[in-house]
Structure 1
Amino acid sequence: MRADRASYRKEYESWIGSLAAAGKLVGGEALETEHTAPATVRTAADGTSTVTDGPAHAGDETLGGWFIVEVADRTEALELAKSLPAPETVEVRPILESA
């Protein structure tokens, strides 16, 4: 999607709009990916930290943002992710609920 972002933007925005209209979209934000590279901080068991430029996990894909959606279960979350009409990767994770 990075290579042809403009051509998919309308489809992507329509998908987000449909989640919001269905009452599924709780929140989310885009991440700045054009001008500032991510940094990774790793803290060892002894308390020392190292900082490196770049993502925590190397690869061709970048994290462009995140959404919080209200769903009944993991199956529904996966179906929503599969409905994105653009060639994009969606990682689905649950939010840790406090007791």
Structure 2
Amino acid sequence: MNEYLVIMRLDLITKEAQPSPEQLEGYMKMYQDWVGGIAAQNKFIGGTGLATEGKVIKPNNVITDGPFAEVKESIAGFITIKARDLEEAVSLAKTCPILFGEGNSVEVRQVSGRHQDN
């Protein structure tokens, strides 16, 4: 099995794109069910959501506030999963409920150096 990072991107800045509290509750239930399905297959490693605030560190010890969502597609969170290959990882990721949102996307990347034979 290999490890894959599933990166979820969505619009965190456009006011009209933000769900109501009721919608958010429904989306969180769908997300938990999706992750639960992956965990039931013993393929979930871990993951979390990300805060919208932070710091950006650049060369020469330049530290700025941010990252600021300057585009509508911001990283909202990620999970790490186990899969035989990229195709299986994509198959698991393509059912992510994040994809129900207009303009949202999910990126799947293999974690380098994490290949296992079991």
Same fold (TM over 0.5): yes
Q: TM-score, normalised by structure 1?
A: 0.75
Q: What residue is the counterpart of 2:111 in the other structure? A: 95
The 1-side partners of 2:62 and 2:107 are apart by 26
Backbone CA RMSD of aligned residues: 2.2
Is residue 18 of structure 2 the alignment partner of residue 6 of structure 1? no
SS at match of 1:91: strand
Give the counterpart of 2:39 among 10, 16, 20: 20
Gaps of 5+ in 1: none
Cα gap change, 1:66 to 1:96, in 2 (>3 Å): same
Specify which structure has the bigger relative contact order, considering alpha-carbon pairs within 8 angstroms and separated by 6 or more residues: 2
Instruction: Please give the per-residue CA displacement for 1:50-97, whole angstroms capped at 9, x wherever unaligned.
Output: 122222873113222221100011111111111113424222111111
Gaps of 5+ in 2: 1-9, 13-17
Amino acid at match of 1:25: F
Q: TM-score, normalised by structure 2?
A: 0.65
Is residue 61 of structure 2 the alignment partner of residue 49 of structure 1? yes
Q: What residue is the counterpart of 1:29 in the other structure? A: 48
SS at match of 1:92: strand
- Overall identity of the aligned pairs, in %: 32
